[in-house]
Structure 1
Amino acid sequence: MRKRNVTGSVGGRLVVYAYALFLIAPIYFIIVTSLKMAGEVTTNPLGLPEYPIIGNFVEAFTRGNIAKYSFNSVIITGSAVILSLLNAIIVSFCLHKIAHKKIGVLFYAIIMGSMLIPGVGFVTLLQLYMKLHLYNNLLGPILMGATTGLPFNVFILVGFLRTLPKEISEAATIDGCNDRQHLFLVLLPLIKSALATLGIFAFVSNWNSLLGPLILLKNKELFTIPLGLLDFRGTYTVEYNYMFAAILITSVPLVVIYLRFQSYFVEALSGGVKG
């Protein structure tokens, strides 16, 4: 019996190590490629650089116009995250208030069912945005990012609201709280871990978004970071060393955001709601 346990433990560790290697390998490839000369990328794609070139990062930052594209990405991503969370909060609170009624169950089912609808119809979407004068300006990607993922956000927030004791809402009502005070002063502090997690998801999704800005933005001055990375792609060649250097530079905000809110992220994944 003990031998089986030892075998199972070793096998489980091997699976974990293999999965960790699978996740680390792309990161290693990006880092070593960003430090190589252009010719070394093709002659020695997986090996360490013979002479690491830190200047690739400076070249990528200046040639890729990272400062300008980062500014646009920050505006789009920050606005989209705020609007996305605000939409999800209001919709989730309304559904939570009428959850015991048939109309509440119907609305919740409709919103959840919308997650099964595939993302198609980009030609129609583009025509709609053009008629609303949202084409080729930052407001278009902001609104697209703010509405994307709403059903999932509502699903998570409604689930967290349902775990809260009813006595909390009853006490708030007795104390004379209106709906706005009940939501923002009583309920939201109790589900801040869920909000932080959804904020991280929304930030990563909008920061790395390529399709939306690619469809809605024409002026190069309005490009975001993912669109700017395409500048390193030529007609016949791709400057992978500069492109990967730019990817590392633009990944810094994602790492900082995650490290700042990782405690809330772990708490939300574990299902914990603290009062």
Structure 2
Amino acid sequence: MTRRSLLAIYALLITVPLLVVLFGSFKTTPDLFASPFGPPLRPTLDNYREILGDAGLLRVFGNSVLVVVVSVPATLALASLVGYAVARLPRRPSRILFGVFAAGLAVPAQAMMIPQYVQFDRLGLRDSLLGLMLINVVVTLPVAVFILSGFMRTLPRELFEAAALDGAGPWGAYRRIAIPLSLPSLAATAIFLLVMHWNDLLYPLLFIDSPAKRTLPLALLDFSGEYLTDYPLLFTGVVVASVPMVALYAFLQRWFVAGMTAGAIKG
């Protein structure tokens, strides 16, 4: 009974804010303040028309898509290579390599922001989508390496030894054995990276100055002012920003299961 009660409380803590945001996107400001938690009595699509009809917001939506489409595969590619090296190198070099990336998890991101800002500014990468993509890869690479290396260490060494006897080099074993068997871990890591990169506000706020280069979370700040916040429009922007993540998460969940099956068959 205690477990059910705790789960019910947790479900309420998650569901109520989601419903407030969803219902609020169909309300006007007076209706929202009159009934913040209830369903919309007079639903309106004006907020969605304003959001979707805003060419500037569509542009920043495209910026977010571009950053995610580049950053996530780049992070996965680098992390899988490092994870494979950690799993296959002898014990001492493997520990040293893993320790280097583990140090990236130990150092708080906030402590690195000023050096990163200065370095990217000197390289001419500040206020650019390329710079934002690079910083996303740099910041999330340690955690991706941590996840993938842990999984690749569990892969049977006999498979790699058999591949070596068949004439496969390290690159061949990586492509034909490590990657196919690591599909479940790659899918889980991709979901994690997608959420982090898509919802990131801190680094765009630090590195991006031009309105045309903003990402979606940064653009949503325009709906919140010092003295007045357009909550229905803000909630609508949050809903629109969440739809791609929900769709991609559902797609990757199915692919995650398929990857587990493929890995089991190949094993």
**TM-score, normalised on structure 1?**
0.89
Q: Answer with 241-250 or 147-156: which moved more.
A: 147-156
Paired with 1:88 and 1:121, the residues of 2 have a C-alpha distance of 20
| 2:231 aligned residue | 240
Contact 1:65–1:228 under 8 Å retained in 2: no
CA–CA separation in structure 2 for the residues paired with 1:41 and 1:266: 41
Residue of structure 2 aligned with 1:168, choices 159, 164, 170: 159
Which residue of the partner structure matches residue 11 of structure 1? Answer: 2
What residue number does 2:62 align with? Answer: 71
Corresponding residue SS for 1:149: helix
Q: Residue 142 of structure 1 aligns with which residue?
A: 133
> Hey, what's the Cα distance between the residues in 1 that align with 2:257 and 2:104?
28
Structure 2 counterparts to residues 199-218 of structure 1, below 5 A: 199-218=190-209
Q: How does 1:25-104 map to 2 (within 5 A)?
A: 25-63=16-54, 65-98=56-89, 100-104=90-94
Following superposition, the deviation at residue 66 of structure 1 comes to: 2.8
- 1:121 offset after TM fit, Å? 3.6
Mean Cα displacement is larger for which, 140-149 or 117-126?
Answer: 117-126
Measured in 1, the distance between the counterparts of 2:116 and 2:65 equals: 24
Which residue type is aligned with residue 53 of structure 1? T
| Cα shift at 1:267 | 8.8
Residue 102 of structure 2 corresponds to 112
| 2:242 aligned to which of 246, 251, 269 | 251
AA matched with 1:88: A
Unpaired stretches in structure 1, ≥5 consecutive residues: 1-9
What does the per-residue CA deviation read over 1:140-187, in whole Å, with 9 as the maximum and x for residues that have no partner? 110011112222211211111121111110111111112222111221
3-state SS, counterpart of residue 111 of structure 1: helix
Shift of 1:239: 0.5
Cα distance, 1:189–1:206 mapped onto 2, change above 3 Å:
same
The gaps in structure 2 that reach 5 residues or longer are none
The structure with the larger Rg is 1
**How far apart in 2 are the matches of 1:207 and 1:44?**
31
Tell me the distance in 1 between the aligned counterparts of 2:105 and 2:255.
25
1:105 corresponds to which letter in structure 2? R
Distance 1:48 1:167, change over 3 A: same
- Partner of residue 5, structure 1: none
**Is 1:186–2:208 an aligned residue pair?**
no
Structure 1 distance, partners of 2:137, 2:115, is 19
Contact 2:26–2:232 (Cα < 8 Å) also in 1: yes
Partner SS for 2:40: coil
- The letter for the 2-side match of 1:187 is A
Root-mean-square deviation over aligned CA pairs = 2.0
| Matched residue SS, 2:153 | helix
Question: 1:217: how far off?
Answer: 1.0
Paired with 1:109 and 1:216, the residues of 2 have a C-alpha distance of 28
Q: How many aligned residue pairs are there?
A: 263
**TM-score, structure 2 length as denominator?**
0.92
Amino acid at match of 1:177: A
The letter of the residue matching 1:104 is S
Give the share of equivalent positions with the same residue, in percent. 29
Structure 1 residue runs of 4 or more that deviate by more than 3 Å after TM superposition? 263-268
Quick check: 1:69–1:223 contact (8 Å CA) kept in 2? yes
Aligned residue in 2 for 1:151: 142
Which residue type is aligned with residue 133 of structure 2?
Answer: I
Change (3 A) 1:182 1:111: same
Alpha-carbon shift at residue 193 of structure 1 (Å): 0.8
